[in-house]
Structure 1
């Protein structure tokens, strides 16, 4: 019986890792693949490698917390470990059915909490720390995004663009006696810099995903002692890599070409902020959701960009006097320059298809190359209102599922351990 449970537990752990790899590879490398900087196979290989690096280093701290910090390690019998992993896999299924990036980390913690409540072994101090981080992290990501959107993003947007590489980024120049590497046809040094930046942040996202997600697949089995932390990392990354090389091909198409409304520059900022927040929490041993932090940053970045239509003084005066002011829309990130556009925003693929032309708002007065960015309070609100970066109803549904998924996981786990196990 124990042998069968062990095999089942390992299979469920591999299933969880497989689905994590399928979804996380697309999130991390979608912009890079959409911009044709790397192909899907290279993206899967890089993601797997950097996820392993994150899991082997920082991810150990999260494994330790989830395997023995929330509840004592001796509570993870084979049956309990398999049940916890089952609820984590169920979260992935719910996420896919509703099309919402439900947090695997939060749901896995919820299942462990249910076990702790049923056995009266929950470490309330550790849980208070984890829940506090779940509140602070998205709030911090929102405000970081808001500050960048209000004060930094317009200047970056005026100075940088990311073009789709139609051919090879690097080629072999065979004109001389010895072949030597050279830039591809019509590829500039600026293209190389932008491409390397996109690729570097994608690899950073892979590192962060590995650091935060390895524990979700194997922590209960590590707590049980049937596998070591090192074996758990190899098992999780093996399954994650398999997902990256197989089912991630579709998510790479979706994220790189289809569903994202983020310009590449905005996607890079959001990815860097979200990955940094999660890497810091992983270093502290706190399991947290990359999806929650990045989505919060998206909302903050769009809100901050739109808020440039008014100064802080004008905003404060409006708030005190109650007068209607210019509407602020998070869709400012994807607004078409010089026009109010209410259609669906451009995707990473279309935005990377060609170098965006600079319009008069971003031209200097004397016509030189230095771009001019309007000061805060001087931008036309109509030019900052575009296709909504997030639908309020959809955002409400996402937030509801973020709260509901770990709650249902905890309740279901509690009832299972209390009544059946």
Structure 2
């Protein structure tokens, strides 16, 4: 019976890792594939390599926390291990059914907390630290996004180029006796800089995904001794890679419905900020949600971008009936930052659909940037990137899925096991 449970645990762990790879690969490498920097197979290969590096290094700390820190390792019996992984996999199913990227890390921790409450072995001090990080990390993402949106984003938007090339950036030249690699002749120097950033940040996202998500798939198995940490990392990354080479092809093709309205520059900024937050937390062994941190960064980035319509003194002045304050919204990311009719670069969705701007039609000189306080608030708030109803549903499910995981896990371990 024990051996069958161990095999069942391995299968469930592989299933969890498979789904993680399918979703994370698309989020990390969607812009790179959409802008024709790399092919889908190359994206999956790069994601697998960097996810392995992340899991093998700082990801070990998260595995230790989830396998023996929240509850003692002795609590992860074969039955308990399968139960915890079941609720982690169930969260993925629920999030996929509702089309919401629920936090696998938060739900996996919730299942372990249910086990700890049922057995009276929960490390309350560590859980206080983890929950505090879950509150502070999104606030940091929000604040950093606001600062970048107000002071840095317009400068980057005016100087960087993100286009969809007709052929891959790096090509094989077969004109000579020996085939050699060369850059696309139609790519300008600005294209090369922008492309390097897109690819580097995609690899960084892969590193962060491996660091934070490997534990979600194998921590219970490491806790009960079914596998060692090294074996757990190999199992998790193997399953994540399989998902990247198979079901991720669809997410790479659509680049994810949740980010298609974002300018590619904004997507890269929030990816970098979110990945950095999660990498730092993973270094300290704290499991956290990349989706929550990046979403808060998007909101902060949009607000900061819109706040350029007012000076700090105007923002600090309380609004009155005679002089109402500026109506700042996150829709500013969709508006051009300079005195042009078109934005400086395409959105992620444009690149995926083949509608990105052509390199030949783009002006070489960067546009002028209006100073803070002189931009038109109506232009900045022309569109809204967030549907309030959809955003409310996402937030509710982010809270609901870990809560259901705790309750379900608690009831399972109290009454059935």
Equivalent residue, structure 2, for 1:52: 52
Equivalent residue, structure 2, for 1:400: 396
- Structure 1 distance, partners of 2:257, 2:122, is 44
Measured at CA, do residues 251 and 176 of structure 1 come closer, stay the same or move farther in structure 2, by a change above 3 Å? closer
For residues 262-303 of structure 1, the C-alpha deviation after alignment (integer angstroms, 9 at most, x for no partner) is: 111111101100000000000000000111111111111111
For residues 137-169 of structure 1, the C-alpha deviation after alignment (integer angstroms, 9 at most, x for no partner) is: 000001100100011001111111211121232
For residues 336-388 of structure 1, the C-alpha deviation after alignment (integer angstroms, 9 at most, x for no partner) is: 565799xxx772415634359779xxxxxxxx945421111100011101321
Q: 1:372 aligns with which of 368, 371, 380?
A: 368
CA RMSD of aligned residues (A): 2.3
- Structure 1 distance, partners of 2:76, 2:240, is 23
Q: 1:354 aligns with which of 355, 358, 361?
A: 358
* 8 A contact 1:340–1:385 mirrored in 2: no
Equivalences for residues 85-164 of structure 1 within 5 A: 85-164=85-164
- Confirm or deny that 1:381 pairs with 2:383: no
Report SS of the residue matched to 1:293: helix
Report the TM-score, using the length of structure 2 for normalisation: 0.93
Shift of 1:417: 0.5
* 8 A contact 1:31–1:348 mirrored in 2: no
Equivalent residue, structure 2, for 1:306: 306
* 8 A contact 2:165–2:358 mirrored in 1: no
Measured at CA, do residues 356 and 173 of structure 1 come closer, stay the same or move farther in structure 2, by a change above 3 Å? closer
* 8 A contact 1:167–1:185 mirrored in 2: no
Measured at CA, do residues 356 and 139 of structure 1 come closer, stay the same or move farther in structure 2, by a change above 3 Å? farther
10-19 vs 395-404, which deviates more? Answer: 395-404
- Structure 1 distance, partners of 2:2, 2:334, is 55
For residues 365-420 of structure 1, the C-alpha deviation after alignment (integer angstroms, 9 at most, x for no partner) is: xxx94542111110001110132111122111111111111111001101110111
* 8 A contact 1:32–1:198 mirrored in 2: yes
- Confirm or deny that 1:291 pairs with 2:291: yes
Equivalences for residues 206-217 of structure 1 within 5 A: 206-217=206-217
- Structure 2 distance, partners of 1:301, 1:351, is 24
- Structure 2 distance, partners of 1:94, 1:12, is 16
List gaps (5 residues or longer) in structure 1: 360-367
Shift of 1:208: 0.1
Equivalent residue, structure 2, for 1:414: 410
Report SS of the residue matched to 1:318: coil
Shift of 1:170: 2.9
Measured at CA, do residues 404 and 228 of structure 1 come closer, stay the same or move farther in structure 2, by a change above 3 Å? same
* 8 A contact 1:204–1:275 mirrored in 2: yes
* 8 A contact 2:60–2:229 mirrored in 1: yes
387-396 vs 284-293, which deviates more? Answer: 387-396
Report SS of the residue matched to 1:182: strand
Equivalences for residues 327-346 of structure 1 within 5 A: 327-335=327-335
Shift of 1:326: 2.5
Report the TM-score, using the length of structure 1 for normalisation: 0.92
- Structure 2 distance, partners of 1:406, 1:168, is 41
Measured at CA, do residues 4 and 187 of structure 1 come closer, stay the same or move farther in structure 2, by a change above 3 Å? same
* 8 A contact 1:340–1:384 mirrored in 2: no
Measured at CA, do residues 208 and 104 of structure 1 come closer, stay the same or move farther in structure 2, by a change above 3 Å? same
The number of residue pairs the alignment matches comes to: 410
For residues 54-88 of structure 1, the C-alpha deviation after alignment (integer angstroms, 9 at most, x for no partner) is: 00001000000000000000000000000000000
Shift of 1:259: 5.5
